[in-house]
Structure 1
Amino acid sequence: MTTDPLDDQVALVTGASSGIGAATARELADAGASVALAARRQDRLESLADEIETEGGEALVVPTDVTEETQVREMIETTVSELGGLDVLVNNAGVMLLEPVATADPEDWQQMLDLNVQAVMVASQAALDVMRESGEGDIVNLSSVAGRKAYAGSSGYNASKFGVTAFSESLREEVADSDVRVTSIEPGFVDTELPEHIPDEDQREMVDEMLEGVTPLEPEDVARSIRFAVSQPTHVDINELLIRPTRQEL
């Protein structure tokens, strides 16, 4: 008789209302984990929770604005109290507001720093206390190809994702004396709603042109990679996963 790799584990996924976050929640639930779903859009979280529970899983809806530190810490506390612990944290919530430096709105930069970086750091800090107490755990941070390679017109987004990659590696070194693992996931083009929020028309057109002739990743492709990373034996830490569509050049 075989068991699912995440049986009896608790996973928390931010940005779970759509895209990679929703796909990851489904994937981890399929692997046996009880899943806490965090995002601002409560109606979508409740629909996803119903779907997971219909398939025999356990899901907890935790409406959260991860740019608010108090809400992030309450998100962790609620997950632990309601589901009995926290074994996997997937910091997925993020936004991609592409603009040239000369015309960028500094408020867009701040939004990316708050959501893409600060929220990741605060959630990781809060989860770390729980995982150190239990003796092990996985912190998975969604970076990007843009966290490894800079692009014209993408400076603010690049800065935020380079920050996620750097934070993840620093955290990994800090917890290397324990069984807490840290993984940075770096997807290329993924078919999600992120490009819809790009404020600069030229940058939206550029993204469309770059996608010509490329079959983008599906959220489920990234979700399977996350499942792979957190399902490894305790002594195996998948530090980074760079995942591009086969025909993506940059």
Structure 2
Amino acid sequence: MDNIKNKVVIITGASSGIGEATAYKLAEEGAKLVLGARREAKLQEIVNNIKAQGGEAVYRVTDVTKPEDNAMLVELAKSAFGKLDAIFLNAGLMPNSPLSALETENWNAMVEVNIKGVLNGIAAVLPTFNEQKSGHILSVSSVAGLKVYPGCAVYCGTKWAVKAIMEALRMESAQAGTNIRTATIYPAAVQSELVSNITDEATSTAYRQLYDAYEIPAERVANVVAFALSQPDDTNVSEFTLGPTTQPW
């Protein structure tokens, strides 16, 4: 994909699942990666693997809920590679439970990571993208950002918020003539660590059974990210819904 080669791309939530798979996919296509996540050992392993295959990547331990951490990823991109072309806002949490379980700590964590983490990433890159009048912002929502499921209220709420934020960003960028493209991805059951963070026992069992029955590899989402990034600069493909062929969602 010629339009990906030499692009500098930040990926958050890059230490596992969709983020990790996307890092390998984009490196294979010739992108230069700036990886952010909380687990340094995993980030180091991924960067080492990319470099061993002849790719280019750097990392910084990142908590997306902290605006300063997001800003430092932008600075790292510029210092390591001299520019920034795109950011993939992938970090997310899904500790689902019925509202009656009152897992308020998990509610707040989802709001902090899934909504504020996306906003922090957008805030970090917009000054650069506005100034250069180009840039690409991609994010992960969920099929839970398109429909609501019981036992999933807060997660659905956060992912609907991502849908709204990203669509408004696309429209505002078009109106302002800043040429910033957006892409929002709505995966169904895709391999990740999301299910392992569910603490409500009944919900955890149900989701584990669902994912065991249907999940497809994270590489399938990585392919979609690469497709979005590979489009000509005058073309914005703003939304992608994907999931297992056999899953009724």
TM-score by length of 2: 0.95
Asked whether the equivalents of residues 24 and 220 of structure 1 are also in contact (C-alpha less than 8 Å), the reply is yes
Asked whether the equivalents of residues 135 and 178 of structure 1 are also in contact (C-alpha less than 8 Å), the reply is yes
Q: How far does residue 62 in structure 1 lie from its aligned partner after superposition?
A: 1.1
Partner of 1:117 in structure 2? 115
Asked whether the equivalents of residues 2 and 230 of structure 2 are also in contact (C-alpha less than 8 Å), the reply is no
Partner of 2:232 in structure 1? 233
Measure, in 2, the Cα distance between the counterparts of 1:210 and 1:15.
23
SS of residue in 1 equivalent to 2:195 = helix
SS of residue in 2 equivalent to 1:175 = helix
Q: How far does residue 7 in structure 1 lie from its aligned partner after superposition?
A: 2.0
My pick for the range that moved more, 145-154 or 176-185, is 176-185
Measure, in 2, the Cα distance between the counterparts of 1:174 and 1:232.
20
Q: Deviations over 1:66-111 (max 9, x none)?
A: 1111211122222222221110100001110101011132111110
Measure, in 2, the Cα distance between the counterparts of 1:52 and 1:46.
10
Asked whether the equivalents of residues 188 and 217 of structure 1 are also in contact (C-alpha less than 8 Å), the reply is no
SS of residue in 1 equivalent to 2:182 = strand
Measure, in 2, the Cα distance between the counterparts of 1:70 and 1:115.
14
1:14-53 to 2 correspondence within 5 Å?
14-53=12-51
SS of residue in 1 equivalent to 2:207 = helix
**Identical columns (%):** 36
Q: How far does residue 249 in structure 1 lie from its aligned partner after superposition?
A: 0.8
Asked whether the equivalents of residues 4 and 30 of structure 2 are also in contact (C-alpha less than 8 Å), the reply is yes
Q: How far does residue 212 in structure 1 lie from its aligned partner after superposition?
A: 6.0
Q: How far does residue 6 in structure 1 lie from its aligned partner after superposition?
A: 1.6
Partner of 1:72 in structure 2? 70
Partner of 1:127 in structure 2? 125
Q: CA RMSD in A?
A: 1.3
Q: Which of 164, 167, 170 does residue 172 from structure 1 map onto?
A: 170
- Runs of 4+ in structure 1 over 4 Å off: none
Measure, in 1, the Cα distance between the counterparts of 2:207 and 2:21.
23
Residues 152 and 64 from structure 1, CA distance in 2 versus in 1: closer, same or farther, beyond 3 angstroms? Answer: same
Partner of 1:54 in structure 2? 52
Measure, in 1, the Cα distance between the counterparts of 2:208 and 2:184.
26
Asked whether the equivalents of residues 88 and 138 of structure 1 are also in contact (C-alpha less than 8 Å), the reply is yes
Partner of 1:186 in structure 2? 186
Measure, in 2, the Cα distance between the counterparts of 1:61 and 1:140.
19
Residues 213 and 123 from structure 1, CA distance in 2 versus in 1: closer, same or farther, beyond 3 angstroms? Answer: closer
- Quick one: which amino acid aligns to residue 204 of structure 2? R
Partner of 1:210 in structure 2? 210
Partner of 1:196 in structure 2? 196
Measure, in 2, the Cα distance between the counterparts of 1:48 and 1:202.
34
Q: How far does residue 134 in structure 1 lie from its aligned partner after superposition?
A: 2.0
Number of aligned pairs? 247
Asked whether the equivalents of residues 5 and 31 of structure 1 are also in contact (C-alpha less than 8 Å), the reply is no
